[in-house]
Structure 1
């Protein structure tokens, strides 16, 4: 026999003795919705069965036995999951509802003979916070659009009063007083010789004041009101799926009692050295095992809390009286008020001379009544009107629905509906 044949035969014998395990691909498990070292919220108002999702890589065709371990160390056997194909979500359902869970450190044990490969025994530790789902109310803020109009006063010194040049009044209206004052002088007396004396006296009545009001325009101010229209929309909740945890599950620190874990058995068999899970000491004392598990979780609490259940749901307030209103103001072109001045003219009236005749005969004094003096006061004013303008804004009220089929499909993916 040649040396080459001897080497080849030895290799074949070695493979026959140990089988393919020496070169077998390692089988790993990964947590999806609940991952090792994570912290999660559970809705205590839900009576759904508690489930978890795993993915496997490099495993043989077989199933994994799944065991849920509560904070007191008690075990619950969950449904089995397939080890193949690779990176496919496998959901296990446990015989406990969410409303029966409680705060503390929980674990999932994944045990399998892995077909013709090396047996596996993995432990996924996580912490649960159990409580009722809270509801947060969102109150919308609505905007009222208002328009302000600047007001400008323009004074025209044209002495001619022409109402056609007036425009719409603006703010405090400029008012010009127009008056005519007439001063009546004493009559000049002329004496001429005559037989008849005919004295004349002019009496001027008291001045009468007339007031003239001119409306030069109408100022319209706006009062704004807001009408809130609500539109109802319905959307289907979307499933947010988790990403595979970066590291596979660690090997078991807990020895299960419900199933036999070949990977945890102590053996001196030659093939044992090819197993990925090597012999190690597992604390026999249950209290010690629980204490160590809590310590491992406490050390991993730096991870951000995740939420297989949504801790808080948000709804939109439908009572429009609660809405906060803000005002957005824009500026319109200015309105100009033009007031034309009316000039006050003072005139002097000189009556006709009074002729006094001297002579033998003196007649009675004749009293002449002059024209009544008048003063005209012109007041400019404007009319005011208030127009109510209603602005309408629409607030969408969205209701999220979660069909049963969507809930089931999302749960199998290890996701959360939101």
Structure 2
């Protein structure tokens, strides 16, 4: 027996009110104690549940399904041997006849000539129509980006003019009124334009379909065995829950599993009513309240899905796809602009002056040479020379389920995915 199973054995010993610990243990497979599961109400398949047993005699378990109202449904029997073998029980309710709420299965058996067993597996079912979500892919295109480097170079040409020397005779006393005009600085703007070739990118996805064969997915194994029954069944009498006149629990072959209709004078034997019988117990309100209290106290709900709660489909309208651009940096383009600036100056040598007499000169207006600055402005124009269309492949998966494989998967307590 594995360490997990041994731990389950110890847990059962604590849960059981019997003086002797049980050696025959049951474990849930697809539906486990305190689990929370989705069931597809659109399905007409019968409700089934899987169990495995350890340490039991060569006998069968009588299985009972208890609905949220406390009513019982008699499901098919399952053998107790061999150990660790998954056994499937089929119930008289189809999935489209079920509803959301707390459900239970009861596992009752004489366990051959050993101690009889009575175990209970409580779980919650969320019964409804599976939801559908649409997945919209994102397609990626690759675009090349060309960096631009602008270099401006300026050359200056200086022109110097030297005038010849002069000798001037002027009066000894001269009145020479002058006016000096300084022109504003003149700026010459040179505009240069560079044209770069550009490539545009578009995306047109290509849809392909891939067929996938569904495979059987098994749930994680239950680590702890089922707890002892707290619900006393009506459809069968559980010897493990009965007491003799002294108040002691009955055991062994004398502890027969019988129907509720069996009288006390009937011989001790396994008597079953017809399969798919249903019983409405008198104490169902009390048992429903007790089960709800146990479920709330356990606080161990773990949502799983024997049936798939959500179906995902892939969007086929490619115009709705998002586009992601992956940019690759190409070689840089360098543009060099050379500007020629001209600077002019005049060099005047000293004037030799001879003074003689007196005179008054007319007003002299002097206009200084205008200073010129040259400024170059670069502009870059892009022209589209070609368009590249990217055609990424988007694969839409279609799942097909083999009917025989699905039946075999359900029998093992798994589901097709």
Per the normalisation by structure 2, the TM-score is: 0.65
Distance 1:157 1:253, change over 3 A: closer
Who is 1:416 aligned against?
A: 415
Structure 1: which 5+ residue stretches go unaligned?
Answer: 1-21, 160-214, 345-379
Deviation at 1:392, TM superposition (A): 2.3
8 Å CA contact 1:38–1:301 kept in 2: the answer is no
Give me the whole-angstrom Cα distance separating, in 1, the residues matched to 2:65 and 2:119: 12
The whole-number CA distance in structure 1 between the counterparts of 2:246 and 2:54 is 26
Instruction: Judge which range, 253-262 or 321-330, deviates more.
Output: 253-262
Range moving further from structure 2, 264-273 or 78-87: 264-273
Deviation of the 1:25 alpha carbon: 6.9
Larger Rg: 1
**Contact 2:105/2:122, CA 8 A, preserved across alignment:** yes
TM-superposition CA deviations, 1:207-257 (whole Å, max 9, x none): xxxxxxxx9997321111112122211112222212332221112222222
Question: Does structure 2 conserve the Cα–Cα contact (< 8 Å) formed by 1:24 and 1:117?
Answer: no
Matched, 1:240 2:211: no
> Aligned pair 1:119/2:96, yes or no?
no
303, 313, 317: which one pairs with 1:315?
A: 313
Give the structure 1 partner of residue 235 of structure 2.
258
Tell whether the 8 Å contact from 1:66 to 1:77 is kept in structure 2 after alignment: yes
Q: Distance in 2 between matches of 1:218 and 1:97?
A: 74
Q: What is the aligned partner in structure 2 of residue 293 from structure 1?
A: 291
Specify whether residues 308 and 334 from structure 1 end up closer, same or farther in structure 2 by C-alpha distance, changes over 3 A only: same
Partners of 2:49 and 2:117 in 1: CA distance: 18
CA distance in 1, matches of 2:388, 2:154: 37
Change (3 A) 1:382 1:65: closer
Cα deviation per residue 1:325-345 (whole Å; 9 max; x = unaligned)?
Answer: 12121221122345677999x
Give the drift of 1:122: 1.2
Following the alignment from structure 1 to structure 2, what is the Cα–Cα distance between the partners of residues 381 and 245? 71
The match for 2:34 among 16, 22, 37 is: 37
Query: Which residue matches 1:52?
Result: 49
For the aligned residue pairs, the C-alpha RMSD in angstroms reads: 3.2
Structure 2, unmatched stretches of 5+, are: 1-18, 157-191, 256-280, 343-378
Q: Distance in 2 between matches of 1:237 and 1:298?
A: 36
Which of 201, 205, 225 is matched with 1:224 structurally?
201
CA distance in 1, matches of 2:42, 2:413: 20
The 3 A distance-change label for structure 1 pair 307 and 301 is farther
Provide the secondary structure at the position in 2 that maps to 1:305.
strand
**Counterparts of 1:315 and 1:217, CA distance in 2:** 50
Deviates more, 1:295-304 or 1:325-334: 295-304
CA distance in 1: counterparts of 2:337 and 2:206, whole angstroms: 45
Question: Equivalents in 2 of 1:24, 1:123: separation in Å?
Answer: 16
Q: Hey, what's the Cα distance between the residues in 2 that align with 1:55 and 1:49?
A: 20
1:130 and 2:132 matched: no
What SS does structure 2 have at the residue aligned with 1:293? helix
Contact 2:27 2:222 in 1 (8 A): yes
Where does residue 14 of structure 2 map in the other structure?
A: none
1:330-409 aligned at under 5 Å gives the runs 330-337=328-335, 384-409=383-408
Deviations 1:357-393 (A, max 9, x none): xxxxxxxxxxxxxxxxxxxxxxx99994521111221
> C-alpha separation between the residues in 2 aligned to 1:286 and 1:221?
80
> Would the alpha carbon gap of residues 58 and 257 (structure 1) be closer, same or farther in structure 2, given more than 3 Å must change?
same
Contact 1:222 1:387 in 2 (8 A): yes
Q: Secondary structure at the match of 1:407?
A: helix
C-alpha contact (below 8 Å) 1:149/1:333 kept by paired residues: yes
**Given the superposition, is the C-alpha separation of residues 64 and 383 from structure 1 closer, same or farther in structure 2, using an over 3 Å criterion?**
closer
1:109 equivalent among 106, 114, 117: 106
Report what 2:146 is aligned to.
149
Paired position in structure 2 for 1:87? 84
8 A contact 1:66–1:80 mirrored in 2: yes
Residue of structure 2 equivalent to 1:324: 322
Q: Does the 8 A contact of 1:39 with 1:301 survive in 2? A: no
Q: Is the 8 A contact 2:242 2:250 kept in 1?
A: no
SS at 2:144 equivalent: strand
Q: Distance in 2 between matches of 1:23 and 1:104?
A: 34
* SS class of match (2:210): strand
C-alpha displacement of 1:83: 0.4
- The count of corresponding residues between Structure 1 and Structure 2 is 303
